[in-house]
Structure 1
Amino acid sequence: MDRRTFLTYLGSGAAALAVASSGLGVLSGKASAESAANHLFGFKTNKVSGYFEPIEPSSADELILPKGFRYDVVAAYNDIINPAGDTFGFNNDFTLYFPINGSNERGLLWVNHEYSSEVFVHGKKTGDRYTADQIKKMLYVQGGSIIEVYRDANGNWKLDPTSKYGRRVTGLTPFELTGPARGAKAVNKATKVQGTFANCSGGMTLWNTVLSCEENYETTSADAGLDPTHYGWVVEIDPFDPSFAVRKHTALGRFHHENSAVGLAKDGRLVVYMGDDTTDACIYKFISKGKYNPSAGRSNSDLLKEGTLYAADLKTGKWIAITIEAVTKALKDEKFKLPSSIKGTKEELLAKYKEQADVLVNAAEAANLLGATPTDRPEDLEISPFDNTIFIAHTNNDKHGNIHGHITRFFEKDNDLGALEFDFEIFAAGGRQSGFSAPDNLTFDSNGNLWTVTDISSSKLGKGVYTTFKNNGVFVIPTRGSNKGEALQFASAPIEAEMTGPWFTPDERTLFMAVQHPGEETSDPKKPTSRWPHRKGDTMPRPAVVAISGFNLQK
């Protein structure tokens, strides 16, 4: 296969994955591939992405897809989402589809909103501060939207503004704190906090709630005069039930959270993988103390209140427990030398770290202190549904010369997500040779292909070493077989935009994605650098969620 021909139905990549999962040994031929795949998905239930002709990079102000595919703009900034008049937020990122009554054509869509804009939303500061009204707007457009979406008789995806489920969770919404930092001195004794913002990616729990991740929270918390220790957490929301208290789980640590990938250890404990989207940042996982009980439903949320946070040491292939006991032991050891990245003396740090809440509020520092490996912006982490390996998008780190980033694959010992030892490989590297740069969000299709979007900074697109990539895009990469690691471009984003938050409907006929920050480099709103989505009457570019269709199902 070359770059002009994509995988056929259940090609070598899916066959190899199926074999690996089923333990059937080496298979060859179409019949063997189909039988192996049926073992994975059930007889005649194979869901596939279908064929597509890979596209070329583009600099056009449009969302470009392969021949035979189309998209609908489902919701864009400031669209009304419910009868109360709430509006869709700004700079949408992560998307998550929840079927209503098992439907692939009507459901709820959770959408993250990551940050605001002086140009398009709340205006510039007067002097060195924003007005109260500007701060309110800034906080309202962040957080998340819950919208009801459906496919009409003509096959078009639309937003239902009459939905009883439509609502906003914003920087103004009250949240409960859970876990060790609740009420602790490290969060200034807070048990409830105001709002969520800087919501980047996220994940889905095994009990069908949303995990939304707070990433670059510092600027908004400073501009709004809010306590920064109340942000940088993983938050949980039930999109169907507003009576389920929205909460921030402090046991999962405070850092620049990109996403949360949820799985189970072999013994039934809950495992959550997380990335910290900054340069020289660590890879984390949380293992619950208790075990998952499918019949307990949302009560399983309590598993996120108590457990152990770990960070990866890539030099030894071990997960390091980030605990107050470990921090205190290290600091009291006369032979222990502080890493160069840690500021302060041992005495000052011993005064700072008194209880587990202190460790969790300062998780990134504690992880570095204990010897976890600094890496190159670990953004999205996803657990392969085929073999329990962990894929990690390291977007880039120009301080280390890793300009185009790479995707790492972790292999937990004994294939157990609860293991404390692992091995790893570099699965794919960005650059001219692969056709992509700066991998970000990840997802899988049931053919075993890894989908990744790219996150080249708007100011660098089409310039210097980024010239050949043109606009940001979406790529599909087989994870096994002779074409393992070969990236094929599926989509090209509008000018200065990212494609983010890929999420398939269960039947894989529709792929939801967000188009974030089109025209981000605009300085004069009367002269925007992008006008996407080019809707009639729009005078500005609008971040929006799209539904992509054209995928084929095996009959």
Structure 2
Amino acid sequence: MNKPSSSDFHQHMSAHDDIAVNHSDHPSLNDVVLSRRQILKGSLNAAAMGFFGLNLSSNLVFAAGKNNLNIPFIGFNSIQPQTDPGFDHVVVADGYQAKPFFSWGDPVVTGATDWNADALNSWQEQLKQAGQNHDGMHFFAFPDDNNRGLLVINHEYTNPTLHKDGITFIDGKRRLDDVKKEQAAHGVSVIEVKIDKQGQWQCVYPSVYNRRISALTIMHVSGPLAGHDLLKTVDDPAAMEIIGTLNNCSNGFTPWGTYLACEENWHNYFVNQDATDYQSRVSHHRYGISTGKTTKSYGWSSVDKRFDATPNAELPHQGYVNEPNRFGWVVEIDPFDPDSKPIKRTAFGRFCREGVTPALAENGQMAFYSGDDTRGEYVYKFVPQQRFDKTQPHKHRDMLDHGTLYVARFNNDGSGRWLPLVHGHSGLTAENGFPSQAEVLVNARAAADQLGATPMDRPEWATVNPHNLDVYVTLTNNYLRGTEFALNAANPRPDNRHGQIIKIQEDQADPAAISFQWELFVVAGEKAGTQNADGKPVAEHLVGNIEGDIFSSPDGLGFDKDGRLWILTDYDDEDPVMENMGCNQMLCANPQTREIKRFMVGPRGCEITGITWSPDYTAMWVNIQHPGLSYPASDGRTRPRSTTVLITKDDGGVIGR
């Protein structure tokens, strides 16, 4: 019987998710070792602007491509880090308040039972409740009422706290009901919210819009892989329907009012017990699918045959060998149609996608930016073939099925290029394992290897500055950079514990541009001369160039309507390297001056993730994922619950001003 704590399980999951599986050579990269002086002095003119996080209700702002912004100052005083190992609260800047709004186990659909603090809810009950580990989310306002909207929230994965006895194996097998409960706790929640008579945001029960989407929900397949042999299994020989969505981390949205959930570390759920096949089958090997009898994290395959992808010649389509190919996609959800079937949009390509952030130019040209969250993976963008017409917003439902996927190459001189992942281009041919565009999209990582893309330090969230379409991407960390991948100007630290944020400026501010300029917006870490608890100065590789409050491991990002950049962190707050950082935090940055202030600190053991606003920006929702103690009860006894927090200003004003 295995009963790790929630915090231990998160660390185990992070370590497993973070195993580098990119072993390709990249001759186009230079083995350049940059000193800290070069990094901080600006060898690439590392001052920077913003990133793009269009959380502007359900509507996108048409950016004019202007670069001279009048960014308002950050109108709050910084708060201190929280280094107390027993800290179990959320703290925000003076003049603001934060309260729990929507927690794991809260009711979603009609007939939901109350959350059981002893984790005794059945899997059938969990299907009607909020899932675990809230992550990316977005607020969609009703077209005729900005005081009413739909809050759509990802549930990334599950913790042992989901079960009374934690994660349990009996004779090497999981309990079927436990696995079904975990599957029910994955996915997405859609919840109606509105301002009540007292002027407070509240969840609406019942609501015809409230909905749970899980790893048990039937989804439609659309785009180039619809009906393709690579997606066929013994249960779905037509390759047109997929059961469930997994590991929904960050997100995106569209100007026609739909939500885009992204399937990140889906590989943890599958096994292929044929080690020989594992080495030869690119679609398994390059994504790190386990060869063990059970997965390292979940063990679903021990009781659910769908997650055993070992080839079986006695079954049609070799059984479930293609089941992993059915995950790693962008899932489009219409929150305003509760009867609609989610759609897996395969034109976006398949990898461990952290998010899919939209950029929309004034002429209707769009792009969607993504990171592949593993050490040494890549930054991508998808450019739809069709432009968006704001006069006919609802005639674009199929534009996500046609377009071009690109991967980024970051040159050491601050220039960059988007490389198209198109069959027949630059070696993406049958001779190299890509007989058609379908193989290119299913094996996007291997295709990016072939093109010589730049391996990055765990690329995660992207966001776009709505004022000028500058793109920002978090490179969270990579403590083995120097031993696994060549150093370069975009990833200059061999032992990168604290990460960096990179800014991309497309040529002519065109989302469809092939070339771009890039620079390091900020290198995270300690202040020079800072001492540890033992009185010794921190190591040089732990020092950053932050103008303001220190932080580590930037992860989530978002822009508010005024152009302030909000940064959310995810690091192991029990790691001695993080002793000065304290608990995970949310900060606010001025994209022009690079001033950074700490706005919020979460409870011990949590990740701060997911950010969205009300249309007038007087309300902000942020997620507290996998708190390690007893939050939100904060009583030292109650089972911790991932929670969406509502933040408002005491005077009712715009947050951040």
State the Cα deviation string for residues 408-451 of structure 1 (Å, max 9, x = none): 00011111111100010000111013301000111112332110
User: Are 1:88 and 2:130 an aligned pair?
Assistant: yes
* Structure 1 CA distance for aligned equivalents of residues 428 and 221 of structure 2: 29
Q: Which moved more, 1:135-144 or 1:119-128?
A: 119-128
- 2:571 equivalent in structure 1: 456
Report the residue type matching 2:189 in the other structure. Answer: S
Assess if the C-alpha contact under 8 Å between 2:347 and 2:401 holds in 1: yes
Assess if the C-alpha contact under 8 Å between 1:49 and 1:447 holds in 2: no
* Structure 2 CA distance for aligned equivalents of residues 169 and 127 of structure 1: 32
**CA positional deviation for 1:388:** 1.0
* Structure 2 CA distance for aligned equivalents of residues 116 and 125 of structure 1: 16
- 2:557 equivalent in structure 1: 442
- 1:206 equivalent in structure 2: 255
**CA positional deviation for 1:547:** 0.8
RMSD (Å) for aligned C-alpha atoms: 2.5
Is there any run of 5+ residues in structure 2 with no aligned partner, and where? 1-48, 51-62, 113-127, 233-237, 272-299, 308-322, 482-494, 528-545
Question: Secondary structure at the residue paired with 2:441?
Answer: helix
- 2:497 equivalent in structure 1: 403
**CA positional deviation for 1:485:** 2.0
- 2:376 equivalent in structure 1: 280
- 1:143 equivalent in structure 2: 187
* Structure 2 CA distance for aligned equivalents of residues 402 and 53 of structure 1: 29
Question: Secondary structure at the residue paired with 2:162?
Answer: helix
**CA positional deviation for 1:166:** 0.7
Report the residue type matching 1:109 in the other structure. Answer: L
User: Where does 1:226-305 land on structure 2 (aligned, <5 Å)?
Assistant: 226=307, 227-264=323-360, 268-305=364-401
User: Are 1:471 and 2:583 an aligned pair?
Assistant: yes
CA gap 1:90/1:431 in 2 versus in 1, 3 angstroms: same
CA gap 1:375/1:150 in 2 versus in 1, 3 angstroms: same
User: Are 1:377 and 2:458 an aligned pair?
Assistant: yes
State the Cα deviation string for residues 522-552 of structure 1 (Å, max 9, x = none): xxxxxxxx11001789820111111100062
User: Are 1:552 and 2:631 an aligned pair?
Assistant: no
Scaled by the length of structure 1, the TM-score of the pair is: 0.82
User: Where does 1:296-335 land on structure 2 (aligned, <5 Å)?
Assistant: 296-315=392-411, 317-326=416-425, 329=427
> After the TM superposition, which parts of structure 1 deviate over 6 Å for at least 4 consecutive aligned residues?
20-25, 535-538
**CA positional deviation for 1:265:** 5.2
Report the residue type matching 2:264 in the other structure. Answer: E
Which one has more relative contact order, counting CA pairs under 8 Å at least 6 apart?
2
User: Where does 1:172-183 land on structure 2 (aligned, <5 Å)?
Assistant: 172-183=216-227
* Structure 2 CA distance for aligned equivalents of residues 330 and 254 of structure 1: 16
Question: Secondary structure at the residue paired with 2:579?
Answer: helix
User: Where does 1:75-224 land on structure 2 (aligned, <5 Å)?
Assistant: 75-85=102-112, 86-121=128-163, 123-188=167-232, 190-222=239-271, 223=300, 224=304
User: Are 1:67 and 2:148 an aligned pair?
Assistant: no
Task: Find 1:500's aligned residue among 609, 619, 624.
Answer: 609
* Structure 1 CA distance for aligned equivalents of residues 169 and 255 of structure 2: 43
Task: Find 1:420's aligned residue among 497, 504, 514.
Answer: 514
CA gap 1:440/1:24 in 2 versus in 1, 3 angstroms: closer
Question: Secondary structure at the residue paired with 1:532?
Answer: coil
* Structure 2 CA distance for aligned equivalents of residues 378 and 24 of structure 1: 25
**CA positional deviation for 1:23:** 6.3
* Structure 1 CA distance for aligned equivalents of residues 501 and 442 of structure 2: 28
**CA positional deviation for 1:84:** 3.2
- 2:78 equivalent in structure 1: 54
Is there any run of 5+ residues in structure 1 with no aligned partner, and where? 1-12, 15-19, 26-32, 38-47, 333-346, 520-529
Question: Secondary structure at the residue paired with 2:439?
Answer: helix
Assess if the C-alpha contact under 8 Å between 1:233 and 1:254 holds in 2: yes
Assess if the C-alpha contact under 8 Å between 1:113 and 1:141 holds in 2: yes
Report the residue type matching 2:566 in the other structure. Answer: W
Report the residue type matching 2:624 in the other structure. Answer: V
**CA positional deviation for 1:553:** 4.0
CA gap 1:131/1:298 in 2 versus in 1, 3 angstroms: farther
Q: What fraction of aligned residue pairs are identical, expressed as a percent?
A: 33
Assess if the C-alpha contact under 8 Å between 1:213 and 1:260 holds in 2: yes
**CA positional deviation for 1:179:** 1.0
User: Where does 1:478-497 land on structure 2 (aligned, <5 Å)?
Assistant: 478-480=590-592, 484-497=593-606
Question: Secondary structure at the residue paired with 2:110?
Answer: coil
Question: Secondary structure at the residue paired with 1:531?
Answer: coil
* Structure 1 CA distance for aligned equivalents of residues 328 and 205 of structure 2: 31
* Structure 2 CA distance for aligned equivalents of residues 331 and 251 of structure 1: 18
Assess if the C-alpha contact under 8 Å between 1:266 and 1:418 holds in 2: no
Task: Find 2:435's aligned residue among 354, 358, 375.
Answer: 354
Question: Secondary structure at the residue paired with 1:80?
Answer: coil
- 1:390 equivalent in structure 2: 471
* Structure 2 CA distance for aligned equivalents of residues 23 and 172 of structure 1: 45
State the Cα deviation string for residues 489-531 of structure 1 (Å, max 9, x = none): 0000111001111111111100111110001xxxxxxxxxx11
State the Cα deviation string for residues 273-307 of structure 1 (Å, max 9, x = none): 11111111111111112222234434412111011
**CA positional deviation for 1:119:** 3.4
Question: Secondary structure at the residue paired with 2:161?
Answer: helix
Question: Secondary structure at the residue paired with 1:540?
Answer: coil
- 2:531 equivalent in structure 1: none
* Structure 1 CA distance for aligned equivalents of residues 388 and 157 of structure 2: 34
Q: Which moved more, 1:499-508 or 1:266-275?
A: 266-275
Assess if the C-alpha contact under 8 Å between 2:162 and 2:182 holds in 1: no
Question: Secondary structure at the residue paired with 2:452?
Answer: coil
Scaled by the length of structure 2, the TM-score of the pair is: 0.70
State the Cα deviation string for residues 130-172 of structure 1 (Å, max 9, x = none): 2321221111101000011233334443222211211101100
Question: Secondary structure at the residue paired with 1:432?
Answer: coil
Assess if the C-alpha contact under 8 Å between 1:437 and 1:456 holds in 2: yes
Report the residue type matching 1:284 in the other structure. Answer: Y
Report the residue type matching 1:150 in the other structure. Answer: K
Instruction: From the two aligned structures, give the one with the greater strand fraction.
Output: 1
Assess if the C-alpha contact under 8 Å between 1:258 and 1:276 holds in 2: yes
* Structure 1 CA distance for aligned equivalents of residues 437 and 580 of structure 2: 48
Assess if the C-alpha contact under 8 Å between 1:450 and 1:479 holds in 2: yes
* Structure 2 CA distance for aligned equivalents of residues 138 and 545 of structure 1: 20
* Structure 1 CA distance for aligned equivalents of residues 437 and 603 of structure 2: 45
